[in-house]
């Protein structure tokens, strides 16, 4: 069994290390910050203790998992690894510099991967002399709990290395989907309206945070409302991804960020971790009550859902992924109540087109333009998974 290297001991990197070690691999977790490494080791100990308390692991298995992870300060420790996954800051220049150095250390047949959520895999791979063994392996946070992993080949990735990487991650009890190297891949591309359209409705004064969250959980069936979720993710992180995707799509209006979220991020109102975001999490603070008007709630839910469906259809139209992987990604990667293409079938494709056209007629903005594939399929009486 190959040794696995993970670069970066933050929550994502340490989570990936835990997943690989649980699957039986010896793992090298590298970070040049000793405090971060000590924190990662301490947090893993707490996680293992909780799993033992809940009866999900016995003490010996937990000890074995921890024993398989070594914590190192230098990338030189990657020399004997067969797979190295990078999980550091989302900065293209920094990643390129790191991968140039990494390639000098690892063997010529070592698979090299980035866990980036928004940067171009091909652009990162351009820093490597032997880029055919480089690809994107994008986990979702928290990595030990989230089943989905997006596999993204660069233009340079060989078919054999792509197959090897996917088989390896599948063996870790993960569900993999294949995505083209485009901004946001599958999940972060399609999911943007869940946040942006909720923010737009707030900005317009249609409803407040609590009401929009209520509509999307109680009526649409999402596990968490967009404002609660953004506060959980962190508004600094969520805004940065939104901004990156927007710029990467050449400033396509469908991905435009919100000034409301930018102001929160600029003010340090990051959400739960800061004690303040869209909601106040300070001690004694009361959560606002939603306006549970069903007509208003349905209007909110319908608007967000058709916007999500439109981007799911566009993701298929632009051949980023196939139908099955698109719906699998959204149900397993972000726990949507239904696959969006299956949801479109349920609502009726023509109904989705009509709702999008009504929004476009009202606003005359590019964000509401209907995907040509969705319009074409509605016109021809087709449904997804049955074309």
Which one from 14, 114, 115, 117 is the annotated catalytic residue?
117
Residue 25 falls in the annotated catalytic set: no
Pairing of strands 175-178, 27-30: unpaired
Q: Quick one: the chain helix, strand, coil %, rounded to 5?
A: 55, 10, 35
Residue 117 falls in the annotated catalytic set: yes
Dihedrals phi, psi of 194, to nearest 5 degrees: -60, -35
The order of strands in the sheet holding 83-86 is: 69-72, 27-30, 4-7, 83-86, 111-114, 134-139, 148-153, 175-178
Which one from 103, 150, 197, 323 is the annotated catalytic residue?
150
Buried (b) or exposed (e) across 314-333, using 16+ Cβ within 10 A? bbbeeebbebebbbbbbbbb
Which one from 138, 235, 238, 345 is the annotated catalytic residue?
138
Q: Which two tokens stand for residue 197?
A: 């359209």
CA distances from 322 to 42, 178, 263, 314 (A): 41, 8, 37, 11
Which one from 188, 196, 238, 258 is the annotated catalytic residue?
188
Residues with catalytic roles: 117, 138, 150, 188
């Amino acid at each position: 069994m190959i040794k696995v290297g993970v670069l970066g001991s933050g929550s994502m990197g340490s989570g990936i290390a835990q997943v690989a070690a649980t699957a039986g691999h010896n793992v090298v977790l590298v970070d040049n910050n000793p405090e971060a490494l000590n924190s990662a080791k301490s947090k893993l100990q707490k996680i293992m203790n909780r799993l033992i308390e809940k009866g999900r692991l016995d003490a010996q298995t937990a000890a074995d998992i921890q024993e398989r992870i070594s914590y190192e300060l230098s990338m030189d420790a990657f020399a004997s690894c067969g797979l190295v996954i990078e999980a550091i800051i989302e900065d293209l220049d920094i990643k390129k510099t790191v991968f140039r150095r990494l390639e000098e250390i690892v063997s010529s047949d070592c698979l090299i991967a980035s866990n980036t959520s928004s940067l171009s895999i091909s652009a990162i791979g351009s820093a490597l002399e032997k880029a055919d063994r480089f690809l994107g392996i994008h986990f979702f946070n928290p990595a030990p709990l989230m089943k989905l992993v997006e596999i993204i080949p660069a233009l340079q990735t060989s078919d054999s290395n792509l197959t090897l990487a996917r088989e390896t991650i599948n063996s870790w009890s993960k569900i993999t989907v294949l995505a083209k190297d485009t901004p946001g891949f599958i999940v972060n591309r399609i999911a943007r309206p869940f946040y942006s359209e909720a923010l737009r409705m707030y900005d317009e004064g249609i409803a407040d945070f609590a009401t929009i969250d209520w509509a999307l959980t109680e009526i649409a069936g999402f596990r968490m409302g967009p404002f609660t979720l953004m506060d959980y993710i962190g508004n600094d992180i969520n805004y940065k991804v939104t901004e990156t995707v927007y710029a990467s799509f050449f400033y396509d209006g469908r991905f435009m960020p919100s000034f409301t979220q930018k102001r929160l991020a600029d003010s340090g109102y990051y959400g739960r971790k800061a004690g303040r975001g869209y909601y106040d999490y300070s001690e004694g603070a009361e959560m606002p009550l939603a306006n549970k008007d069903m007509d208003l709630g349905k209007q909110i839910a319908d608007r967000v859902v058709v916007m999500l469906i439109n981007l799911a259809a566009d993701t298929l139209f632009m051949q980023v992924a196939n139908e099955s992987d698109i719906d699998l990604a959204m149900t397993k990667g972000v726990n949507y109540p239904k696959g969006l293409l299956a949801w479109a079938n349920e609502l009726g494709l023509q109904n989705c087109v009509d709702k999008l056209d009504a929004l476009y007629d009202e606003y005359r903005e590019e964000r509401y333009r209907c995907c040509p594939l969705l319009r074409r399929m509605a016109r021809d009486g087709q449904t997804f998974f049955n074309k």
